[in-house]
């Protein structure tokens, strides 16, 4: 949809691909769908859900055996994002390194994208 020929919409680190593969092996899931929705103190939040069927409108990214689907409304916001999976003493989870984000809240759960009308 919003891609560049020959370039994946998002990339996965080895750690993220390994975690997604582990999650997808349970219950024979087809992949992990990512998206964005309104919410949080900065205005938008990432969403993630297991899927058993690929929506034909999703952008499908396959890397190192892991499959990620990008919901149609999120494709323009996620293009160029690197997804990582980090483990620390206090938490473990997916981290999005998104070049389209202009601001984020202190907790890192909410993000803001540039207003397209301010260009």
- Asked if residue 35 belongs to a domain, the reply is yes
Is residue 114 a contact partner of residue 100, using CB atoms and an 8 Å limit? yes
- Asked if residue 2 belongs to a domain, the reply is no
- Asked if residue 1 belongs to a domain, the reply is no
Distance, in Å, from the CA atom of 75 to the CA atom of 96, rounded to the nearest integer, reads: 14
CATH number, domain of 30, equals 2.60.300.12
- Asked if residue 4 belongs to a domain, the reply is no
Interval 6-63: pLDDT, tens: 668 899 999 999 999 998 888 878 899 999 988 777 678 889 999 988 899 999 999 9
Give just the sign of the alpha carbon dihedral 37, 72, 64, 81: negative
Q: What is the pLDDT of residue 42?
A: 67
Range of the domain at 14: 10-118
Provide the number of structural domains found in the chain.
Answer: 1
- Asked if residue 111 belongs to a domain, the reply is yes
Q: Could you give the strand order of the β-sheet that contains 81-87, starting from the edge strand earlier in sequence?
A: 10-12, 81-87, 92-97
Write down the pTM of the prediction: 0.81
Q: What is the pLDDT of residue 117?
A: 55
Q: What is the pLDDT of residue 1?
A: 47
- Asked if residue 55 belongs to a domain, the reply is yes
């Amino acid at each position: 949809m919003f891609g560049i020929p020959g370039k994946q919409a998002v990339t996965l680190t080895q750690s993220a691909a390994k975690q997604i593969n582990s999650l997808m092996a349970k219950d024979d899931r087809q992949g992990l769908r990512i998206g964005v929705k309104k919410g949080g103190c900065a205005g938008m939040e990432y969403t993630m859900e297991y899927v058993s069927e690929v929506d034909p409108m999703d952008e499908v990214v396959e890397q190192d055996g892991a499959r990620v689907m990008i919901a149609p409304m999120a494709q323009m916001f996620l293009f160029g994002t690197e997804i990582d999976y980090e483990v620390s003493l206090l938490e473990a989870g997916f981290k999005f390194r998104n070049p389209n984000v202009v601001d984020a809240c202190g907790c890192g759960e909410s993000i803001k994208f540039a207003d397209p009308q301010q260009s």
